[in-house]
Structure 1
Amino acid sequence: MKILHVSDLHIVPPGQRLFSLDPLAQFQACIAHINTHHADADLCVLTGDLAHAGAPEAYAALADSLKSLTVPYQLLLGNHDDRAGFLAQFPDAPTDQHGFVQSWLDMHDLRLIFLDTLETGEIHGRLCERRLQWLAEALDGARNRDVLLFTHHPLPDLQYPSMDWIGLRDKMAVLQLLQRHGRVRHLFSGHVHRAASGIWQGMPFSTVPGTNHQHELDLATPGYATTRLEPPAYAIALFRDGDVVTHFHAFTDASARFPYHPPVHDAAAA
């Protein structure tokens, strides 16, 4: 099984730019790259910050661009998104009984759970009691399936001061639910605009760069992160025989390629 992880599109209305770039064009380049190199993927999960400021025109442009994506996709919300504006453009997006954009999907022997961590008006993430109760039911329903959890805001602290302070506020409540289930294979998140991976409370996790701009890797300075135009990328998660491997593909990279040629063995010199 192959799952693609894309995050932090930050699309603005057509004709506008963000940090000197066109986020829509960047995302369209990402789609073209996926269609060329990973059209065999089972699913593409986009973990939020779909629009930079929740503008209706941005969601309309996103919807139009997604028509060209040949891989099935799942959309999550991030702190830059607007839930009502998103649902107006994507009325068929799965929601729970309270209108939060979260759902689950069983694929092969896994349950994929997609959470809505958007707290309107806030940068940090939140899972209120209703969302936590929904998560508990989704985990209980998984029974003997291993779980992949997708969120915008990461659950673990990344020892990254400029982002940890705007992480998920209810992580310990989520942790208790995940530990009770006991079969969490991987945690996938966006939000930090960087590739990071590790183990949190015994559970592997990874984050992914954004498709437009990145955050500077500064492990000492608190406060807001500094934006940089480092190469964008998306992740390719591969699942086989209980293993999970995650690769990161810089889709705008156009650097030269040099095929490997083994050295010629000089018998006379041997």
Structure 2
Amino acid sequence: MKFIHLTDTHVIGEDRRLYGANPARRLRLAIESINREHGDAAFVVVTGDLTHWGDAQAYEAFSRAIGDLQMPVVLMVGNHDVTPAFTSAFPSAMRDENGFVQGARQSEEGLCLFLDTRVEGSHAGGYCPARLDWLAARLSESEGPVMLFMHHPPFEIGCGHMDDIRMLDHEAFRAVLEPHRARIRHLFFGHAHRPIFGNWQGISFSCMRGLNHQLDLFLIPDDGTAPGNLAEPAYGVVLAQKGNMIVHMHEFALRAPRFDLMAPPGVDPVIYATTMQHPDFTEI
């Protein structure tokens, strides 16, 4: 099974720029790439921060773009989203019995649990007792493999300010997962605006770049800064098959020169590379 992991689109209204880039345009480019290159994907999941300010105009712009996807999409919320505005724009989006934007979907490779880690009035995440109870119930109902999707990471990633705004109820969250840890195949999250891969409490995880702006690597305590950059956006192409979980980061708008590594016999590969047609280096 193939699916696509998008995160942190940060769309704003009126096709405007954010930190010098156009998030709505970058989202449209991502959707064009997904439709063109990965039309066989079972679904696309967007793990939150769909918009930057959570306003109606931004959700309208996001809705216009995401509507062009040619496969099912699961939309989640992050700290930059506003739940009432989101649910007004997407009335059929998943909700649990307490109104949180979370739900469960069975796939051919296991149960997918989409978790709402948003906390009103905070950029940090959380998972309150009501949500913990919901998660515990869903895990208890299932005996097969599980994949988890959330916006905030439930652990420190080593980047100062971002660690201060991770999911703060991580110990209670970990305790709910513990009896089922052997069944949890992978944890997918966003929020960090960086490609991050590793293992937490025996659970493999991956995080993708955002679509608009990225976070520099700064492995220092929080000094009040969060250095960013406009590196090319990316999304994850996930291959879940027969007990394996492969996550590719696809820089779909890469502006670096491209060439065929298989230079013809007898041709100097340096000369061959420099004479290949290069992409358009215009700002995306």
TM-score relative to the length of structure 2: 0.90
What is the total number of aligned residue pairs between the two structures?
Answer: 264
Kindly report which structure 2 residues correspond to 1:1-270, keeping only aligned pairs within 5 A, or say none.
Answer: 1-143=1-143, 145-182=144-181, 183-222=183-222, 223-259=224-260, 260-261=262-263
Letter in 1 for 2:19: F
Aligned partners of 2:109 and 2:241 also within 8 Å: no
Aligned partners of 1:150 and 1:187 also within 8 Å: yes
* Residue of structure 1 in register with 2:281 after alignment: none
Gaps of 5+ in 1: 265-270
Aligned partners of 2:116 and 2:150 also within 8 Å: yes
In the TM superposition, residue 261 of structure 1 has moved relative to its aligned partner by: 2.8
In the TM superposition, residue 129 of structure 1 has moved relative to its aligned partner by: 0.7
Q: Secondary structure at the match of 2:70?
A: coil
Moved more, 253-262 or 100-109: 253-262
Give, in whole Å, the separation in 2 of the partners of 1:78 and 1:195.
18
Percent identical across equivalent pairs? 39
Letter in 2 for 1:195: P
In the TM superposition, residue 158 of structure 1 has moved relative to its aligned partner by: 1.1
Letter in 2 for 1:261: A
In the TM superposition, residue 139 of structure 1 has moved relative to its aligned partner by: 0.7
| Deviations 1:63-118, CA, capped at 9 Å, x for gaps | 11112111211001000000000000100001000110000101014000000111
Q: Secondary structure at the match of 1:105?
A: strand
Give, in whole Å, the separation in 2 of the partners of 1:95 and 1:82.
14
Q: Secondary structure at the match of 1:14?
A: helix
| Deviations 1:148-199, CA, capped at 9 Å, x for gaps | 0000001221122221111001111111111112311000000000000101
Give, in whole Å, the separation in 2 of the partners of 1:74 and 1:33.
18
Give, in whole Å, the separation in 2 of the partners of 1:26 and 1:258.
24
Give, in whole Å, the separation in 2 of the partners of 1:71 and 1:256.
31
Aligned partners of 1:163 and 1:224 also within 8 Å: no
Gaps of 5+ in 2: 267-284
In the TM superposition, residue 15 of structure 1 has moved relative to its aligned partner by: 3.7
Aligned partners of 2:15 and 2:24 also within 8 Å: no
| Deviations 1:20-61, CA, capped at 9 Å, x for gaps | 111111100110111111111111110000010101011111
In the TM superposition, residue 257 of structure 1 has moved relative to its aligned partner by: 2.4
RMSD: 1.4
Q: Secondary structure at the match of 1:191?
A: coil
TM-score relative to the length of structure 1: 0.94
In the TM superposition, residue 221 of structure 1 has moved relative to its aligned partner by: 4.5
Aligned partners of 1:237 and 1:246 also within 8 Å: yes
